[in-house]
């Protein structure tokens, strides 16, 4: 019953808007459309100038993950994997560009904690480290997708560093 009422209300509003629209002159409509278009483009330019780096990075990364044929991942897992990739890219340990030489320098302790999404200030047990490691490895293990072998080795290195740090 509510759908019928909502439909009638929407159709009535649409009818009144179309009726009002037909009484306005075409010059006024075109002038209003130009102004709205200019304002919209200006706001879009400001949006991309302020947050363009972040707005474009997430969709491109998620699209590239789809190219890696990662199957069965939820949006939360994709966001978690995106954070891992961003941490690794910021540290120079990962790139989507296969021509780049793999950097064999070891991770810092802080990077290892970031990769495993652990807080260094808290007392962390070996069980918590292994649980965080397992949660990430389920998403990026080479058996899931062979293209994620580099990520998997970096996560292994991070786990070893954190376990050595808490021992």
119-132 pLDDT, tens per residue?
887 888 889 889 98
**148: which DSSP letter?**
G
Q: Tens digit of pLDDT for each residue in 93-120? A: 666 555 444 444 467 788 888 888 888 8
Instruction: Name which CATH class applies to 71-166.
Output: mainly alpha
Instruction: Kindly list the domain boundaries of the chain, sorted by start residue.
Output: 26-67, 71-166
Using the predicted structure, report yes or no on whether residue 13 has a pLDDT greater than 80.
yes
The model scores a pTM over 0.75: no
Closest CA to 147 of 58, 70, 79: 70
């Amino acid at each position: 019953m509510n759908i019928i009422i909502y439909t009638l209300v929407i159709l009535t509003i649409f009818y009144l808007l179309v009726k009002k629209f037909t009484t306005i002159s075409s010059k006024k409509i075109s002038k209003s459309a130009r102004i709205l278009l200019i304002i919209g483009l200006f706001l879009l330019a400001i949006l991309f100038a302020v947050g363009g780096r972040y707005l474009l990075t997430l969709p491109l990364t998620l699209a590239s993950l789809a190219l890696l044929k990662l199957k069965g991942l939820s949006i939360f897992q994709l966001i978690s994997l995106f954070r891992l990739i961003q941490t690794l890219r910021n540290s120079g340990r990962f790139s989507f560009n296969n021509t780049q030489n793999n950097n064999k320098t070891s991770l810092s302790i802080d990077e290892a904690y970031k990769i495993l999404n652990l807080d260094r200030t808290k007392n962390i047990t070996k069980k918590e480290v292994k649980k965080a490691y397992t949660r990430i490895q389920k998403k990026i293990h080479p058996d899931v997708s062979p293209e994620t072998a580099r990520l998997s080795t970096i996560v292994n290195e991070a786990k070893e560093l954190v376990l050595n740090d808490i021992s």
